[in-house]
Amino acid sequence: MVRNWRSNRLLFLAVSLFFCFGLMALSQVGLLTPLEDLAAVPLNALSGVFNTIALSVVGGVTDLAELQNLRQRNADLEEALAQFQSELVELREIASDYKRLTELLDYTTSVTNQEFVTADVVNVDLTGLRRTIVINRGTRDGLTTGMPVVTRQGLIGRILDVSANASRVLLITDRDSAVSARLQSSRAEGSIQGQLSGNLRMTMIPLGSPVQTGDLVITSGLGGNFPPDIPIGVVTSIRQVEAELFQEAEITSLNNFDTLEFVLVITSFEPIDISVFQQENAEGS
């Protein structure tokens, strides 16, 4: 039984080899060409399908790798952009500070017989009953109470309180502030008073004095609290009441008190106390 199976296997192998060699011989002489062409059609189609699948798989792997590279590149670009934006903001701030400081320097060089100390505004209080700012200069810098505070645009106020390295400035828009002023055009004098709303009003203007919108208002120097000829603001409206002996005018400051960053303290000016003479006059009368 085993011998028969082995002999049949050998016979099958021999027949198979003979058949294969026969097919190869027939293929060589071209007798199997029609059959080969017929069989090649489905084989080529199947090969094309496998090639397409293989190319898709390779393309997908390549696209995935490129996508990962693009994501990493995008993350790197976003990080660089954030850094550049931060540097741009910093450079813009430096340029803005440089411009304002240059304007203050131009102002200090254009004004003669005055000395200044530049200070940063470190706190602004415009919401309560008092309207003040705090600057980062104090007695160590030679500051004392009463010294005028200005910018290139004009008067800001005067120092109210002083510590070693800081000072509180009473703004001219505070309702307790009063500044002796005059109209630059007509030289009419009056008093600038702050309002609770933060606006400015010039009172005590003589009735006969001409007042027009757009007139520049400057300090008069009367009373000895401020140097003369410091710009304060411009006239925006006039009010005349026949029953009163004086005119009033609404004034718009040349400064924006909401955006103050740098100010100048006039250290060479010493306020003059004339209250003793006023008391003597009152006692004499």
CATH of the domain at 137: 2.40.10.350
Lowest-confidence pick of 113-117, 184-188, 249-253: 113-117
**pLDDT bracket for residue 76 (50, 70, 90):** confident
Range of the domain at 123: 116-271
With contact defined as beta carbons under 8 Å apart, do 117 and 111 qualify? no
Whether 199 is covered by a domain: the verdict is yes
Distance CA 247, CA 212 (A): 12
Phi and psi at 177, nearest 5°, equal -90, 140
Provide the 8-state DSSP code for 226.
S
Residue 200 lies in a domain: yes
**273 alpha carbon, distance to own chain's centre:** 43
pLDDT in tens, 159-172: 999 999 999 999 99
The structure's pTM equals 0.63
pLDDT tens digits along 90-135:
656 566 555 655 666 666 666 667 888 999 999 998 876 789 999 9
Per the domain annotation, does 241 fall within a domain? yes
Residue positions counted in the chain:
285
Lowest mean pLDDT, pick from 13-17, 134-138, 216-220, 270-274: 13-17
Question: Quick one: tokens of 162?
Answer: 């002083």
For residue 81, being part of any structural domain is answered with no
* Local confidence band at 258 (pLDDT 50, 70, 90 cut-offs): confident
Q: Could you tell me if residue 179 is inside a domain?
A: yes
- Give the amino acid at 176: D
CB atoms within 10 A of CB 254: 16
Q: Is position 220 within any domain?
A: yes
Q: Give residue 30's pLDDT band: very low, low, confident or very high (50, 70, 90).
A: low
Q: Please choose, from the candidates 112, 131, 95, 121, the residue with its C-alpha nearest in 3D space to the C-alpha of residue 264.
A: 121
Residue 68: per-residue pLDDT: 80
Report the SS3 class of residue 39.
helix
Kindly indicate the confidence band of residue 282, based on its pLDDT and cuts at 50, 70 and 90. Answer: low
Strands 167-171 and 132-135: antiparallel
Ordered DSSP codes for 113-142: S--EEEEEEEEEE-SSSS-EEEES--GGGT
The whole-angstrom separation of Cα 267 and Cα 147 is: 6
Considering Cα of 235, then 239, then 242, then 244, what sign does the dihedral take? negative
CA distance 120 to 138: 12
Kindly state whether residue 75 falls inside one of the protein's structural domains.
Answer: no
42 found inside a domain: no
First to last CA, the chain: 158
Q: What's the total number of domains in the chain?
A: 1
